[in-house]
């Protein structure tokens, strides 16, 4: 559903992407992770037609992102990091305007909007001004807007940034429901536990290159199952173990303060890059 090969982007003498190749099949929930400046946003901008590639090829559902740009754009919906709804329009009017831009006939547009509002739990707020909605409601509405034209692919750029833990989990449930209805999901996020919980596969991106692609479970298993974090000279050092028994035995002889925990996806990224996803 999403295919790109040797995708590159250069700004002057600086490379933002360096020959990235990836295939995401139909219906998959895929997470694209990396630190600031790794090339995540550049990739999204190229795939959604907001930035032109320097090299390589990219396709959305078989349509080339530049040669078939209109058809390619119809295949995808984008949920940006910033909430860019029209604050002075109502909930319904925001969705209706998006439907007009995609030239969806009036009857179909009305049916789809009402269906989506019920789907995201805002059916009773369609007449409310967006400026009066909570942050979580605005985020749900932003997701619904991206779905008005029934895209086959949904790009999510930091979809839960700034939301509290409870609202984030409600958004997670909504996103999984969207995927379960057949939509391909492509997620970028700095909340690495979000990718670990939601994604079927993950790509680690660093300095414009993909350095690993696998399931979250397989990437975590490369490090082990248990980790001990030790405070050493005002820094935290982590040691990994295959079993809890090995970790417990190791901890017996530790004089520094330490904590025992499960290995997570961020450990896998740190081991590969020496950096945190941020």
Instruction: For residues 258 and 243, give the distance between their C-alpha atoms in angstroms, rounded to a whole number.
Output: 17
Per-residue pLDDT at 153 exceeds 90: yes
| 19 and 148 share one domain | yes
The answer as to whether 270 is a domain residue is: no
| pLDDT tier at 276, thresholds 50, 70, 90 | low
CATH number assigned to the domain comprising residue 79: 3.40.50.300
Per-residue pLDDT at 1 exceeds 70: yes
pLDDT the model gives residue 164: 87
Helix (H) or strand (E) holding 91: helix 91-101
The answer as to whether 156 is a domain residue is: yes
| 228 and 213 share one domain | no
Instruction: Enumerate long-range contacts of 49-54, CB under 8 Å, 24 or more apart.
Output: 49/73, 51/9, 53/7, 53/8, 53/9, 54/8, 54/9, 54/10, 54/17
| 95 and 115 share one domain | yes
Read off the pLDDT of residues 56-101 as tens digits, 9 standing for 90 and up: 999 999 999 999 999 999 999 999 999 999 999 999 999 999 999 9
The answer as to whether 276 is a domain residue is: no
The answer as to whether 273 is a domain residue is: no
| 237 and 212 share one domain | no
Average pLDDT of the chain, as a whole number: 93
Containing structural domain, residue 258 = 224-262
């Amino acid at each position: 559903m999403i295919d790109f090969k040797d995708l590159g982007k250069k700004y002057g003498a600086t490379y933002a992407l360096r020959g990235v190749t990836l295939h995401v099949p139909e219906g998959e929930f895929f997470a694209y992770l990396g630190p600031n400046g790794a090339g995540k946003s550049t990739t999204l901008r190229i795939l959604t037609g907001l930035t032109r590639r320097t090299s390589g090829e990219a396709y959305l559902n078989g349509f080339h992102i530049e040669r078939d740009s209109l058809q390619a754009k119809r295949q995808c919906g984008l949920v940006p990091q910033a909430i860019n709804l029209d604050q002075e329009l109502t909930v319904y009017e925001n969705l209706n305007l998006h439907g007009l831009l995609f030239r969806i006939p009036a009857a179909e547009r009305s049916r789809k909007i009402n269906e989506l509002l019920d789907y995201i739990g805002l059916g009773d707020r369609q007449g409310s001004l967006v400026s009066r909605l909570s942050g979580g409601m605005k985020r749900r509405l932003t997701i619904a807007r991206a779905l008005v034209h029934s895209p086959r692919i949904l790009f999510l750029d930091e979809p839960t940034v700034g939301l509290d833990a409870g609202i984030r989990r409600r958004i997670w449930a909504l996103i999984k429901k969207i995927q379960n209805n057949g939509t391909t999901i492509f997620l970028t996020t700095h909340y690495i536990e979000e990718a670990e919980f939601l994604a079927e596969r993950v790509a680690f991106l660093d300095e414009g290159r993909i350095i690993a692609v696998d399931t979250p479970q397989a990437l975590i298993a490369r490090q082990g199952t248990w980790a001990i974090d030790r405070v050493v000279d005002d820094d935290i050092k982590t040691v990994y173990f295959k079993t809890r028994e090995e970790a417990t035995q190791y901890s017996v002889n530790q004089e520094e303060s330490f904590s025992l925990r499960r290995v997570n996806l961020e450990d896998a990224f740190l081991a590969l890059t020496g950096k945190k996803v941020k």
